[in-house]
Amino acid sequence: MVKICCIGAGYVGGPTMAVIALKCPSIEVVVVDISTPRITAWNSDHLPIYEPGLEDVVKECRGRNLFFSNDVEKHVADADIVFVSVNTPTKTQGLGAGKAADLTYWESAARMIADVSKSAKIVVEKSTVPVKTAEAIEKILTHNSKGIDFQILSNPEFLAEGTAIKDLYNPDRVLIGGRETPEGLKAVQALKQVYAHWVPEEKIICTNLWSAELSKLAANAFLAQRISSVNAMSALCEATGADVSQVSHAIGKDTRIGSKFLNASVGFGGSCFQKDILNLVYICECNGLPEVANYWKQVIQINDYQKSRFVNRVVASMFNTVAGKKIGILGFAFKKDTGDTRETPAIDVCRGLLVDKAELRIYDPQVPQAQIEKDLTMVKFDWENPVLVNHVSPVTLNQVSIVENAYEASKDAHGVCILTEWDEFKTLDFQKIYDNMQKPAFIFDGRNVVDPNKLRDIGFIVYSIGKPL
Ligand code: NAD
Ligand code: UGA
User: DSSP letters along 334-365, please?
Assistant: SSTT----TT-HHHHHHHHHHHTT-EEEEE-S
| Pocket test residue of 268, 277, 419 for ligand 2, highest count of atoms within 8 A of CB | 268
Q: Is the CB of 88 under 6 A from ligand 2?
A: no
Least Cα distance to 358 among 315, 402, 418 occurs for 315
| pLDDT confidence band for 142 (50 / 70 / 90) | confident
- List all residues whose CB is within 6 A of at least one atom of ligand 1: 7-13, 33-35, 38, 72, 85-88, 105, 108-109, 127-128, 157, 159, 161, 271-272
Q: Is the CB of 128 under 6 A from ligand 2?
A: yes
ipTM higher than threshold 0.95:
yes
Strand spans (E) along 115-184: 121-125, 150-154, 174-178
Ligand 2 center to 169 CA (angstroms): 18
DSSP string, 200-269: -GGGEEEEEHHHHHHHHHHHHHHHHHHHHHHHHHHHHHHHHT--HHHHHHHHHTSTTT-STT----S---
| Pocket test residue of 272, 278, 279 for ligand 2, highest count of atoms within 8 A of CB | 272
Catalytic member of 272, 284, 350, 417: 272
CB-count exposure of residue 404 (10 Å: 0-12, 13-18, 19+): exposed
pLDDT of residue 318: 97
Q: Which residue's CA is minimally distant from atom 6 of ligand 2? A: 158
The answer to whether residues 83 and 17 touch, using CB atoms and an 8 Å cutoff, is yes
d(CA 79, CA 67) in angstroms, rounded, equals 13
Residue 272 is a catalytic residue: yes
User: Each residue of 143-176: pLDDT tens digit?
Assistant: 876 789 999 999 999 999 999 999 999 999 999 9
User: Each residue of 258-312: pLDDT tens digit?
Assistant: 999 999 999 999 999 999 999 999 999 999 999 999 999 999 999 999 999 999 9
Q: Determine if residue 87 is labeled as part of a ligand binding site.
A: yes
Angle subtended at Cα 468 by Cα 466 and Cα 469, rounded to the nearest 5 degrees: 110
Q: What SS3 class is residue 31?
A: strand
12 Cα nearest atom in ligand 1: 26
| pLDDT confidence band for 394 (50 / 70 / 90) | low
Q: Is the CB of 16 under 6 A from ligand 2?
A: no
DSSP string, 303-318: HHHHHHHHHHHHHHHT
